[in-house]
């Protein structure tokens, strides 16, 4: 079940305010439809969820479970806001297409450190420890590629 009502209370934001923000972007959302979204009779579109999360200043994972988020198409909208980062999407796409190799990483870390990090992951936009590791590795990979590209450009210019 979504946690809308708890978020409305915790963030001191009225349901009406969120509805108005969603309506600015999507005129099809009226009060009865938004009520159905809040009361879990239907799921929002990715674009609607993006605006809801932006208004409530939260991640989609704060509202829905991972299983529920998988039901919401992630083709549109901001994947970070939906609780699924681009590195995770790329990994899922590789698995779906059965192209490329998947490297399975198992890491052992200090239990106390893991518990502290795990408790704060959602505050920083990560859905879980696996998501965190994927994003860190992906960012490091992009940094390496950028440095290699810059090195090649410098070698070409000096040569």
CATH code assigned at 42: 1.10.260
DSSP string, 31-63: HHHHHHHHTTSSPPPHHHHHHHHHHHTS-GGGT
**Which string of DSSP letters, residue by residue, matches 129-142?**
HHHHHHHHHHHHHH
Output the pLDDT for position 93.
59
CA angle, 58 then 61 then 62, to 5°: 50
Q: Which helix (H) or strand (E) holds 4?
A: helix 4-11
Q: What is the pLDDT of residue 43?
A: 87
8 & 80 share domain: yes
72/117 same-domain check: no
* Domains of the chain: total: 2
Q: How far is CA 143 from the centre of its chain?
A: 21
Domain with 54, as residue range(s), is 1-84
Residue 67 shares a structural domain with residue 123: no
- Reading the chain (159 residues) residue by residue, the pLDDT tens digits are 678 888 898 889 999 999 999 999 888 999 999 999 999 888 888 888 888 988 998 888 888 887 777 776 544 444 444 545 555 556 555 555 555 566 667 788 889 998 999 888 887 777 788 888 888 888 898 899 999 988 888 877 776
Same domain (yes/no): 109, 77: no
Out of 33, 55, 84, pick the residue that ends a domain. Answer: 84
Predicted pLDDT at 81: 41
Q: Are residues 78 and 114 in the same domain?
A: no
61 and 112 inside one domain: no
One domain, residues 121 and 68: no
In the listed set 84, 113, 131, which residue is the last one of a domain according to the structure? 84
């Amino acid at each position: 079940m979504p946690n809308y009502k708890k978020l409305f209370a915790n963030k001191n934001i009225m349901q009406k305010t969120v509805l108005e923000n969603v309506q600015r972007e999507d005129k099809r959302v009226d009060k009865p439809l938004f009520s159905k979204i809040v009361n879990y009779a239907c799921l929002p579109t990715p674009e609607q969820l993006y605006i809801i999360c932006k208004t409530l200043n939260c991640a989609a994972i704060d509202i829905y479970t991972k299983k529920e988020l998988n039901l919401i198409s992630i083709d549109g909208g901001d994947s970070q806001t939906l609780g699924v980062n681009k590195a995770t999407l790329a990994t899922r796409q590789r698995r779906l297409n059965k192209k490329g190799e998947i490297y399975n990483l198992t890491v052992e870390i200090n239990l106390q450190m893991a518990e502290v990090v795990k408790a704060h992951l959602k505050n920083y936009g990560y859905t879980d420890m696996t998501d965190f590791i994927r994003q860190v590795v992906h960012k490091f990979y992009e940094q390496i590629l950028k440095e290699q590209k810059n090195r090649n450009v410098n070698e070409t210019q000096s040569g």
